[in-house]
Amino acid sequence: MTLPAKNLLADEASPYLQQHSGNPVHWRAWSPASLEEAKALDRPILLSVGYAACHWCHVMAHESFENDDVAAVMNRLFVNIKVDREERPDIDQIYMAALSSMGEQGGWPLTMFLTPDGKPFWGGTYFPRQARYGRPGFIQVMEAVDKAWREKRASLHQSADGLTSHVEARLSGTHSRAVLDRDTLSELAGRIDGMIDRDLGGLRGAPKFPNAPFMLTLWLSWLRDGNTTHRDDVLVGLEQMLAGGIYDHIGGGLSRYSTDAEWLVPHFEKMLYDNAELIRFCNWAFAASGNDLFRLRIEDTVDWLLREMRVDGGAFAASLDADSDGEEGLFYTWSRDEIEAALGEDSALFFKHFTLSSPPAWEGKPIIHQTSDQQSESVADRELVPFKARLLAVREGRVRPGLDAKTLTDWNGLMIAALAEAGRSLARPDWIDAAAKAFGHISAASRDNRLPHSMLGARKLFPALSSDYAAMTNAAISLFEASGDWSYIEQAGRFVQQLDLWHADASGTGYYLTASDSTDVPIRIRGDVDEAISSATSQIIQALVRLASVTGDLDLQERAWTIAEHAAGRAEHQAYGQAGIVNACALAIEPLKLVIVDAPEDPKLVPVANRSPDPRRVDIVVPIGTAANRPLLPGGILPPTNRPGAWLCTGQVCLPAVTDPGELEGLLRR
């Protein structure tokens, strides 16, 4: 079987794949038919993995994939498959692990060479068309691979078999369970402690990523063990990020990472997941510190989200590109003259609070950022708001960066939870409504009770991944906490049923990232490894622990414990990337449950809980006099609902009921 000798990406749902539909390369999407074509032609596969907001993906596309001479070599020697890593994180993780196993530095674009049956034998990331940057030219690379394929095929197959076995053991292997140990979190936090840049925030060195899993480890270390140094590491890291050019001071929102150690020069792409994590951490930071900076940046970021990222149906787009009009950061950067033209005599006040910098090796216009002093002063200066609005209006007239408008279920689940939690804490019911609308849109897109992984308009990509069910379960629980609507818990239970049906392993000790009826994956992986966000496995453990806590389901609680033990056993055999599992296991060891009975029309205890968010805790609020859906306390005890009261429980132990708001506040902030 051979597919037509032309580019076949025009009908794909992914905007990233559609971006390449005009290339002279005979691209195929990843599918059983594409793999069969490689076998029929007895050609190796050239796999290119990227995403729509990836700057170096655009560079390689322009230099090589749009070039007729390069495309001719690709079409003659290979079956060429293009993958959107956001649509197929399972495929991306397999081949990224293969590249890492070769001792190479990972990144995107990911360029891998595979045998016709999908086994990797060599690869890299970005290759320039002509040799430079210490990298060989792309045509030179392809011709060398072809020569090896023709002359050393047996050796390549042997290498591919060995590499595939290594990746399979790493990503889908089984290990004996580990005893869940309270000290594991402390040990990991101690190791991260030695990596912290206490002057600039985040991890030492460059480039600098927010690294939400590590930040959560430090935050849990403070909440559980009282380590104020780790609390301050997170607060300082957030403050430095929010002062740097990585944060969009005019329009709100965080870029994916900075290229330098000072958070100054970002790759300007904005990802939905980074901003979901930013909202959550700023919410916790505001509650812990009272620093209005964090509240204001939540508001700015949510304003950006609702203004620029909402798509039809109320869900959220995946990302915004780094480039506009072919230049990285052009949409976001300003010359001093442009700011003075927009603000006139008011520009002096603007420059009192903001700095323009053009650091070495940056070729674009200056980047807006703040010094620490400017950041502190600007929090209290509300005069800045109309100035930023005027600059935003000018910026809206520029060529906009590309929007990857596809709706990813797992990333939306993260953002829905973040909006619901921040909406509770900051008394913004409109944010909770926006979260509920996105949740309803994605839930309604199910087919045969199964979620899609991705949507773009009427096009839907099935089946969902385990991360989709986990993120949407957590989102449902956060919406329940914000609304008290028990139907969200019923929906969360249905998501877990689908997770069990399609993703559970044969022994009932864990889950695979891909569904059991996914026929085009060479390896069925677990989803244990963190990326910019916590792993699928960690999100599953969190979802099961939280749902068991809400419902009082002891069987589900026991199952969550078993899943956590086996995930911890696998994590012991990994060198890195397991902070998410450690964090989730810490939640499994000491889950917190807060049950509040209060008067809906004049609550006294609920506002205390709302302004004291804690990632370890689930909150259940019932009105005085409630008879239905009364939450069970440990031991099967029903709390009395004839009067206000609050019960804080850890595992199977509850503290005495609290009726005074001040006493509850002290209990939650102890």
Measured in residues, the chain has a length of 670
Q: Is 60 helix (H, G, I), strand (E, B) or coil?
A: helix
pLDDT digits (tens, 9 = 90+) for 587-610: 999 999 999 999 999 999 999 999
Sorting pLDDT into bands at 50, 70 and 90, what band is 340? very high
Query: Are the CB atoms for 455 and 406 separated by under 8 Å?
Result: yes
The C-alpha atoms of residue 18 and residue 7 are separated, in whole angstroms, by 10
Q: Which residue has the tokens 């595939």?
A: 164
Predicted pLDDT at 332: 97
Calpha distance 518→309 (Å, rounded): 30
- Does pLDDT of 254 surpass 90? yes
Is residue 316 scored above 70 in pLDDT? yes
**Quick one: tokens of 384?**
């800045």
Distance, CA of 78 to CA of 72 (rounded, Å): 10
Dump pLDDT digits (tens) for 606-649. 999 999 999 999 999 999 998 888 888 888 888 999 999 999 99
pLDDT of residue 394: 97
Take residue 159 and report the two structure tokens written for it. 């290498």
Do the beta carbons of residue 467 and residue 542 sit within 8 Å? no
What whole-number distance in Å separates Cα of residue 476 and Cα of residue 532? 22
> Average pLDDT of 399-428?
97
Instruction: Considering only CA atoms, give the Rg of the chain.
Output: 25
Q: What is the pLDDT of residues 489-524, one digit of tens each?
A: 999 999 999 999 999 999 999 999 999 999 899 999
Q: How many helices (H) and strands (E) does the chain have?
A: 25, 21
Which residues have a Cβ under 8 Å from the Cβ of 77 and sit 6 or more positions away? 43, 44, 46, 142, 143, 145, 146
Q: List, for residues 94-119, the tens digit of each pLDDT value.
A: 999 999 999 888 899 999 999 999 99
Residues 6+ apart with CB under 8 A from 271: 53, 256, 318, 319, 411, 532
pLDDT of residue 576 exceeding 80, the answer is: no
Q: What's the pLDDT score for residue 577? A: 65
Q: Are 360 and 345 in contact (CB under 8 A)?
A: no
Give me the CATH topology for the region 406-590.
Glycosyltransferase (1.50.10)
499 touches 536 (CB < 8 A): no
From the list 295, 284, 285, 218, the residue with the least C-alpha distance to 614 is 284
Please, are residues 144 and 67 in contact by the beta-carbon 8 Å criterion? no
Q: What CATH architecture is 15-172?
A: 3-Layer(aba) Sandwich (3.40)
The pLDDT of residue 558: 96
Better-scored residue on pLDDT, 555 or 360? 555
Mean pLDDT score, 345-355: 94
Q: Is the pLDDT of residue 188 over 80?
A: yes
CA-based end-to-end distance of the chain: 66
pLDDT of residue 55: 84
Alpha-carbon torsion angle 70, 73, 79, 82, nearest 10: -10
- Whether the per-residue pLDDT at 574 is higher than 80: the answer is no
Minimum mean pLDDT range among 249-258, 380-389, 528-537, 574-583? 574-583
Alpha helices by DSSP H, listed for 106-152, are: 138-151
Indicate the average pLDDT of the chain: 95
Residue 157, token pair as written in the block: 């197959």
Q: Region 656-661: what's the mean pLDDT?
A: 96
Label the pairing between strands 645-650 and 617-623: unpaired
pTM of full prediction above 0.85: yes
- Would the pLDDT of 346 be above 90? yes
CA-wise closest residue to 236 among 372, 421, 369, 377: 372
Say what the pLDDT of residue 404 is.
96
Residue 552 has pLDDT above 70, yes or no: yes
**Cβ–Cβ under 8 Å, residues 438 and 316:** yes
Q: Which two tokens stand for residue 438?
A: 């996105």
Q: Mean pLDDT across the stretch 429-446?
A: 98
What is the 3 state secondary structure string of 450-511? ECCCEEECCEEECCCCHHHHHHHHHHHHHHHHHHCCCHHHHHHHHHHHHHHHHHECCCCCCE
Residue 12 DSSP label: -
Distance from C-alpha of 649 to C-alpha of 667, rounded to nearest angstrom: 11
In angstroms, the CA 223 to CA 288 distance is: 10
Question: How far apart are alpha carbons 136 and 141 in whole angstroms?
Answer: 7
Closest CA to 603 of 427, 421, 417: 427
Q: What is the pLDDT of residue 382?
A: 79
What proportions of the chain, in percent to the nearest 5, are helix, strand and coil? 50, 15, 40
The residue extents of the domains of the chain are 15-172, 177-304+320-403, 406-590, 592-668
3-state secondary structure at position 539: helix
622 pairs with which residues across the strands?
597
**Bridging pattern class, strands 617-623 and 110-114:** unpaired
**Hey, what are 512's tokens?**
């695979």
